[in-house]
Structure 1
Amino acid sequence: MSAELMTIRQMCDVFDVTPRTLRFYESRELLFPQRRGQHRLYGRSDRARLTLILRGKRFGFSLEQIRQLLELYDPSDHNIAQTEAVLKTGRERLSDMERQYVELGAAIEELRQQLIEGEANLLKLKTET
């Protein structure tokens, strides 16, 4: 087996996913492993695509949005309207994430303040007894 090809088990170990996950992405035409008999073999492009798929999932993209993002990396099938649409989706998701980041920052600061107040109250209670 070529050093560039990985079995499904190797992919699972490297990317911390299950075989079912890889087969699911294949069924959704997001991954295209080579077949040798009953075995799936994943090449460098499959590994790159899986990295992008997992990153997209972590960022909250749907599988369809991930498919569109993956198409940006396939220079054989580009058109301007499609690329603009994918970039628009990416910008919208970035905007959503930035808003969530601000909201999360505010929630963290509020919790910090509550903890400071709680610790002060606890110290006061301990000194009163």
Structure 2
Amino acid sequence: MAPMTSQQTWSIAQLAEEHGVTHRTIRHYEELGLISPERRGTTRVFHRRDRIRLALILRGKRIGFPLEEIRKIVDMYDEQPGEAGQLSYLLDRIEDRRADLERRRQDIQDSLDELAELDRRCQADLAALRSPTHRQ
């Protein structure tokens, strides 16, 4: 693999393959202004900044952030308060997201526990109905 230079560019096909997304997904992020590739005629030319932003967008989506939240986070890197502000804001969002996921995990565990109890009761009732001492 050749070393990455600041002049290196990528096509939409290369970025789509690298990140496992469709061309349509990348075009959608461009339409939303999340990435802004250079245009050479009808060809999109992606620079290092676009590639990094796309990776951040996809990471944000994987952990459940909405696109507007992702936009705010990636845009903060280029604006004041800069990287430190971006990281502080991101840490707050991570804490919120983690708390939300923990609540969801507890809800799922509670549901699984209820299902296990219901399963146990149904199995016991069925066994009782099938026992030879059960009268019809």
So what's the TM-score if we normalise by structure 1? 0.68
2:10 and 2:45 in contact (8 A); partners too: yes
Q: Which residue of 2 aligns with 1:70?
A: 74
Q: Secondary structure at the match of 2:103?
A: helix
- Report which of the two has the higher share of helix: 1
Higher alpha-carbon deviation: 101-110 or 59-68: 101-110
Moved beyond 6 Å, runs of 4+ = 108-115
> 1:29 aligned to 2:61?
no
Counterpart residue type for residue 61 of structure 1: F
Higher alpha-carbon deviation: 9-18 or 96-105: 96-105
1:33 and 1:41 in contact (8 A); partners too: yes
Q: 1:43 to 1:105 in 2, by over 3 A?
A: farther
Q: Secondary structure at the match of 2:39?
A: strand
2:73 and 2:89 in contact (8 A); partners too: no
Give the whole-Å Cα distance in 2 for the aligned partners of 1:49 and 1:109: 41
Higher alpha-carbon deviation: 12-21 or 91-100: 91-100
Task: Give the gaps of 5 or more residues in structure 2.
Answer: 120-136
Q: Secondary structure at the match of 1:78?
A: coil
Q: 1:51 to 1:101 in 2, by over 3 A?
A: farther
Give the whole-Å Cα distance in 1 for the aligned partners of 2:47 and 2:105: 36
Deviation by residue 1:48-91 (Cα, 9 ceiling, x = unmatched) = 1111111111111111011111123x2x41239x7566654442
Report the RMSD for the aligned CA atoms in angstroms.
3.4
Task: Give the gaps of 5 or more residues in structure 1.
Answer: 116-129
Percent identical among aligned pairs is 36
